Chains A and B, each alone.
Chain A
Amino acid sequence: MAKKKEGWKELPIGAIIVEPGSSEKFKTGDWREGKKPVVDKNKCTNCMICWISCPDSAIIVKDGEMKGFNLDYCKGCGICSTQCPVSAIEMVDEEKE
């Protein structure tokens, strides 16, 4: 992650991005300000409402089951927590974990 950034002579002309799909490298998870989602799998029904609501595709799903959060991209907006019909997702202070 701590890659040395290019100097002006090394960058492509006109500020173009020459590599497709490079937005994956932009870890927007560090935009979170203090709160992150935590799921209680005892309550979760795998209804996928959090998955469809997440603006950053940060809900991890495997074999039809909600498995947690990709914190590299979760911005901590809390939409999943608000939308969850069974109140299985709670926003918690990151430091307290």
Chain B
Amino acid sequence: MKVAAKTANEAMAEAMRQINPDVVAAYPITPSTEIVQIFSQFVADGLVDTEFVPVESEHSAASACTGAAAAGARVMTATASQGLALMNEVLFVTAGLRLPMVICEIARTLSAPINIHCDHSDTMDQRDTGWLQFYAEDSQEAYDLVIQAMKISEEAFLPVMVSADAFILSHSLQRIEMLDDKDVQSFIGKHKTPFSILNTDKPITVGPLDLQDYYFEHKRSEAEAMREAGKVIKKVFGDFGKKFGRKYKLVEGYRMKDAKRAVVLMGSTAGTAKEVVDSLREDGEKVGLVKVCAFRPWPTEEINRALKNVDYLGVMDRAEGMSGFGAPLFTEIRSSLYDENKKPDTYGYVYGLGGRDVKIEDIKKVFDDLKKVESGKKLDRNNYLGVRE
């Protein structure tokens, strides 16, 4: 083990080096450019055996990676925002073909208006692609999740994107504990592939036309793989915790044991929210935080268990979703809780769009609002935090 100062970009590039994938095809985009820039240096320095393909677009990056995965290669790439949006068409193909692949993703706002800073609109846009989605709170999590994602992807036969918040994580230097190269290799193990088009002893057809008589069955089977992926994640997170001491969960509860008011959110804001929870706890308030690490597959059971004793809940979304109703995390949470007999009174808060800072006072306001609801005040079901009226 080695302690190092790494931004999330650097940490994810190091994770890629230690994974040593067979193929990386990538195209630069702010703020994830650095990941593949650093990685291409590793390639040039001979530190990895990777075939690095500098393609002409993210659509091509995803296509080249998907093709290489179908040929039996261990593949990775990195992207953000518009780049991820441009990959969209191909992401469905990777998942539909049940190919393992990992994207190191930096969560950046989508145009328009153009903006390079953090929110989750880019990954939320991809939530129906059939990719697993993990959200990191800090550099350490970004690093650890990428390593675990590779193994999960190859055991679930589904692709995974690991998301770290733009600039807040991608460009902020933090202390991380890095594993030894050989430990990463022994943890991820030998590359597993569901099939290979290069195996001439056993010729197969990949991506044939699949019409009314079979398409539905194939999608049903993919949906089942997504449901089963939760078990795979838990197993791999468990193995990682046992081996290296850092324990990951689909859903992390922070001071939730007797919490009556709680906030749910994803990504780097969890760090700030923990500060708020600690300070309110010092004042004797029964508050807590639930951080969703795995957004796909959606961890219904874990969410409901974490929230079963909560009376008032604020769900903080760093994406609007533009449904005309509630933001993505809010609607998932409310839908999950629907069948519970006892469920919290749940309110939505859209925050931090386009990299708008979310401060201690902002998160404190959510807890204050929930307290006012408790004392009978009416609150809008969906709210905007930190926007100018």
Contact = CB atoms under 8 A, between A and B. Distances in A.
The answer to whether A and B assemble together is yes
Interface of A: 5-9, 11, 13-18, 20, 22
B217 to A, nearest CB: 4
Contacts of B221: 8-9, 11, 13
Which interface residue of B97, B218, B224 has the most chain A CB atoms within 10 A? B218
Interface residues of B, number: 24
Interface stretch (B82-90, B198-206, B245-253): B198-206
Interface of A is mostly: loop
A14 B217 contact: no
Contacts of A5: 213-214
B220 A14 contact: no
Given A5-B213, A8-B221, A18 B204 contact: yes
Contacts of A7: 217
B98 A6 contact: no
A14 B96 contact: yes
A8 B206 contact: no
Interface of B: 96-99, 157, 194-195, 202-208, 210, 213-218, 220-221, 224
A6 B217 contact: yes
A15 to B, nearest CB: 4
Given A14-B99, A14-B195, A16-B195, A8 B205 contact: no
A8 B227 CA distance: 15
Contacts of B206: 14, 16
A15 B214 contact: yes
B99 A15 contact: no
B98 A20 contact: no
